[in-house]
Structure 1
Amino acid sequence: MIQGKTVLAIVPARGGSKGIPRKNIREVAGKPLIAWTIEEAKKSRYIDRLILSSDDDEIIEVAKAWGCEVPFKRPIELAQDDTPGIAPVLHALEFLPRYDYVILLQPTSPLRQADDIDSCLEKCLAADAKACVSVTEVTENPYWMYTLEKDGAMRQLIQTNDFFYRRQDLPQVYKLNGAIYVANYEWLLQSKSFLSQDTLAYVIPWERSIDIDTEKDLQYLNYEYFPKNSKT
C-alpha cells in the first residue's frame, strides 16, 4: 500500500514462446527466469498482492514454488502469439477485487530491481498521473538514422533542419524497456492501455534494462552478468 492506495502486481507468463522455447522458466544464474521478477516484486514496499497469469501448468508450479500466488489459470485463447499484451491484465482484473493501482511486471526483464518498481509507482502518485512506465535511453539514436530512396539518396528518419555531428549534441531519446508498467486501476479499465499522451516515463539505466527476447539475449545475460554460472 502507498499513501493509503492498494497495489496489485501481475506477472504475465504464457507457455508458448517461439523465440526461446520455455523462455519463462529457462535457467538464469541457477534459477528460473521468472523467479528474478517474483523475488524483486516480493521485496517491494508497496505491492499488496502479487499474482501470476499463465496458461501453462509447469510455469504455474514454478511460480508457486518461488512464492507467487496463482489465483486462476489463463484461458488458452489469451496466450497466443498475437494476443495483445494488455489482454492478460484485463482478464486478471475481471477475477480479482478492485485495487487502486495495477503494476505489470514482465518476466523477460530480470534485472529490474524492487527500488525501480517502487520509484516508478512513487513517480506516478507524486505527479497524480494516470500511468507511468519504464524506459531506457537508446544506444542507437534515431537522429542519426536514414531511409534510402531507390536511387540511394539518404533521407533523415526524423526530419529536422539541424545536423548533429557529435553524439553529445544529439537529443536524448528513450525507448520502452518492458520492465515496469504502472496505471491507475479505473483509468486502465477505461483506456485498456498503459500508454497515452499523459503517461509518464521512469528511466532505468541500460544495464538493468535487458529484455530477453531471443536465445542470444539469454546467452548475453548469462555470460556478461553471471559468468561464474555460465556453462561452456
Structure 2
Amino acid sequence: MSKTIAIIPARGGSKRLPNKNILLLGNYPLLVHSILYAKANSDIIDEIYVSTDDEKIKEIALQFGAKVIDRPSAISGDLEPTITTLQHVLQSINDEVENVVLLQPTNPLRPENLLKECFKTFKETGSDSLFTVSQNHHKFGKIVGSKFIPFNYEIGQRSQDLDPLFFENGLLYITNAKSILDNKIISENAFPFIVNHIFAHVDIDTQEDFDYAEFLYQKLH
C-alpha cells in the first residue's frame, strides 16, 4: 500500500544559532514540535522520518516516536539543498511512498488544521505538489545609484491598493515521491496554498527569530 510520509530534515550544525534544532521552545526541543504536528495528523501521515547527522537529535527524535534516517556527511553541509535529503530518505526506506509532507523544524508553529486543509486541496487539484504562501504588504523597491526605485508600487500609492505579492513561508510542503526523485519539491503545477496567519512569519534562523517564536508560543499557549 502506498504511504504518505512526513520528513523532518534536522542537521546538527547551525552556525547562526548553534544547536537550534534542539533548543527548548516551551516544553519541547524545536524539532519535536514538527514531530508532534505530524503525529496529530496520523489520519494523513503513515510514518514520520527525521533525517539527521547528529546523535543528540537522533536520540530526541526516537524518544518522541519518529523513525530516524542517518544522514551521510556528504549531504549534511550548509549549502546542501533539501531535495537531496528527501531523496536520501526515499532511497533508504523499503516502503512504497506516494506522497511526502516536508515539515521544517525551523517552522515549529503551524495552524492546527493546516495540513488537513492542504492535503484535501492537494488531492482535489491533482497537483504534483503544494506549498504554503502568505501575502506580503510591504512597499518594495531597489536602490540603484543611491536612488530608490519602487518595485511593486508607485510613490504615494496606498498600501491597500498594492498589487498583491506573496512569499513562500515554509510552513509545509506536500509533494508526490515521483517529483522528488525528479529533483523537484515545488513542481511546475504546484498549488500555492495561501495562509493568512501570524505563524507564517516564524522561520527560525537567528536568536531574534527564536525569541519571537518563544513570545508567540507563550502568548498563544
Q: What CA RMSD, in Å, does the superposition of the two structures yield over aligned residues?
A: 2.1
8 Å CA contact 2:140–2:151 kept in 1: the answer is: yes
Equivalent residue number for residue 136 of structure 2: 138
The CA deviation at 1:224 is 3.8
Give the distance between the partners of 1:66 and 1:218, measured in 2 at CA: 22
Equivalent residue number for residue 90 of structure 1: 87
Equivalences, count: 218
Give the distance between the partners of 1:7 and 1:215, measured in 2 at CA: 33
More strand by percentage: 2
Which runs of structure 2 are paired with 1:56-205 in the superposition (5 Å)? 56-70=54-68, 72-96=69-93, 97-140=95-138, 144-150=139-145, 152-158=146-152, 165-190=157-182, 192-205=183-196
Q: Secondary structure at the match of 1:100?
A: strand
Q: Secondary structure at the match of 1:118?
A: helix
1:24–1:119 CA distance, 2 compared to 1 (3 A): same
Equivalent residue number for residue 219 of structure 1: 211
Gaps of 5+ in 1: none
The CA deviation at 1:118 is 2.3
Give the distance between the partners of 1:114 and 1:213, measured in 2 at CA: 23
Give the distance between the partners of 2:90 and 2:191, measured in 1 at CA: 22
Which runs of structure 2 are paired with 1:19-30 in the superposition (5 Å)? 19-30=16-27
TM-score with structure 1 setting the length:
0.86
- Decide which moves more: 180-189 or 209-218: 180-189
Gaps of 5+ in 2: none
1:32–1:163 CA distance, 2 compared to 1 (3 A): same
The CA deviation at 1:113 is 3.8
Residue 52 in structure 1 maps to residue 50 in structure 2: yes
Give the distance between the partners of 1:132 and 1:164, measured in 2 at CA: 36
Give the distance between the partners of 1:64 and 1:137, measured in 2 at CA: 37
The CA deviation at 1:187 is 2.4
8 Å CA contact 1:40–1:113 kept in 2: the answer is: no
8 Å CA contact 1:5–1:100 kept in 2: the answer is: yes
Give the distance between the partners of 1:125 and 1:66, measured in 2 at CA: 29
Give the distance between the partners of 1:182 and 1:138, measured in 2 at CA: 22
Residue 32 in structure 1 maps to residue 29 in structure 2: yes
Give the distance between the partners of 1:165 and 1:157, measured in 2 at CA: 12
The CA deviation at 1:225 is 3.1
8 Å CA contact 2:2–2:96 kept in 1: the answer is: no
What amino acid does structure 2 have at the position aligned with 1:112? R
- Decide which moves more: 12-21 or 117-126: 117-126
Give the distance between the partners of 1:148 and 1:43, measured in 2 at CA: 46
